Structure 1
């Protein structure tokens, strides 16, 4: 089992959230809301309005998201879904727990404010102008930015 931090379309209420709980993809358990301990640029880019976390620590915001405990099958699915290693790379980052909800068997419950680690998907390649795009602390496909995510099934 591994801990994965999601910050984009896989979060609750977002277009790909259902994929996290599709049993064909593996097992998932929601553990906590959290944010990165370091600042990172979170941008919306490409013609599909995809959220990308750029590997430029110290710039941007402390990014808000959710921590999930996933089995090996789900981790393998997420790697394929996130197109590792061409589009994203899976990287271990430090997170500050905001609220721990999960009751992961055999794991100690983390308290608010505590630091934990989880894998996150960070963009491997991006256009030179992406770091200068608007940065977001929290991604919402339906936000005021007007850049709604284009789901894969609707793409040309």
Structure 2
């Protein structure tokens, strides 16, 4: 694996997870499915090289924000995933609908991976709404009160929920 390359020789992408995709959290079942099918491999617990804000938005959904130097070094889990798995994670994270943006993150090990950041359209508002305070890890304490997508009010888009949360 090359130092600045986020893909391995077998066309795998390194994904840094910091929230609900981690082991023991509500969306990990997607990764567990991929692990059992061979479309993902758990590589370990890692920390970001840079300080980055990790905050909660509506429904205790975690957001990593692309403001290097603010917040804390964030601890999460690193996975190697196939192209097929990457499409499914992008779908879960709402990449095509403007919920999250998948962009590079450098880990303290020097590894370059991909992470899902809160979309730049609302990131600063989320940061301010959280008092410009983030946390180092999305733990059970931060996740307390998390509402799964299927249990959220219908007829309102997640972007509308974010807009309401930050206003």
Corresponding position of 1:139: 138
1:16/1:25 CA distance change after superposition, 3 Å? farther
- The secondary structure found in structure 1 opposite 2:21 is coil
Corresponding position of 1:28: 40
More strand by share: 1
Q: Which has the higher contact order (CA 8 A, sep 6+)?
A: 1
- Cα distance in 2, alignment partners of residues 25 and 84 from structure 1: 23
Q: CA deviation at 1:2?
A: 0.8
For 1:47-97, what per-residue CA distance to the aligned partner results, in whole angstroms no more than 9, with x for missing partners?
A: x2110011111100001000001001100001111011411111111102x
Q: CA deviation at 1:126?
A: 1.8
Q: 2:126 aligns with which of 124, 130, 143?
A: 130
Count of aligned pairs: 136
- Cα distance in 2, alignment partners of residues 26 and 74 from structure 1: 10
Structure 1 residue 73 corresponds to structure 2 residue 84? yes
Q: CA deviation at 1:25?
A: 8.5
Q: CA deviation at 1:19?
A: 1.0
1:25/1:9 CA distance change after superposition, 3 Å? farther
TM-score normalised per structure 2: 0.74
Corresponding position of 1:56: 67
- Any gaps of 5 or more consecutive residues in structure 2? 1-11, 154-167
More helix by share: 2
Question: 4+ residue runs of structure 1 moved beyond 6 angstroms?
Answer: none
